[in-house]
Structure 1
């Protein structure tokens, strides 16, 4: 396996892959000051000819950067699921997605491409998670929640059942969402309220 990104997020993914007995053979990063993480060499900026048959995971938490890089990379993409995660056999996990320590994915849930399901986050039955979504540590999605692409749901937030969270939203940490949220909304609070809207021209 190869990684792109040599940050703290990459350290967690390395931990997952080690627990999976998956060898990591190199890490790409554009910062020339970074030389290694946990004895894994940082080999410099991305090169399509470096171990071209090895799958890769983009180890970057920012949804927008992860999306941009995914369109530039020629390698295939792998997945990483920590052994402590509980994944129902009917759930679907797409390429590039990472499921971290203690996370739970229930029956018929679907996780899109390059999703981050962070530590101890819970995705209940029939949820649909779009591409490049980040569910931060301790997030709880109740049943049949839909989350649009590129959305970040902050640590400890709770999303009530049967709601739709739009694309490119930001749900602040600790929010309790009890109504559906439109695209581009920034929400906060308990109950969560829209406090701003993103301009899609800047995304």
Structure 2
């Protein structure tokens, strides 16, 4: 494992911890899109179908369990916790996320590396993860005034994907025959979706003010 992948994994983990900290400690999910969290839960559920059949390493298994458990826990908190769910802005979080599922599934059926159930589901998870942040970004655009923890959560998610791109570049030049076009293109699309958010995040950080997105 190279430093870029490790940094990406730790950044991804940090994003989850920041969101759990907000939900569990502050008892608030204000500014958090349930639609995006449901998509991420589905991403991990379909990506890690091999968790009990193909052992890679203890680190790999633990990280899979963490992301599976945390994603479903966040969805449960927003949907069912008496206090947390009161802060959920259902009227603003109206992105029809289920419309994203069928195109991603059809794309995975036709564009994949091997036509097996696990491989198609893994490819589906890549396509879905690339656009799963859309409901969250739309919600932030509507609410405009974003609290620090929510801003940090989205920033860390984008940073995780950017670090993984560096990981792929590093592996391309250091590992023979390392070519994964589906993973690369999906990751690049996902990173580009964060570009506008990154700009305003750094502007607010530079000026030491609360993050606000333009109308």
Q: What TM-score, normalized by structure 2, do the two folds share?
A: 0.25
By percentage of residues, which structure has more helix? 2
By percentage of residues, which structure has more strand? 1
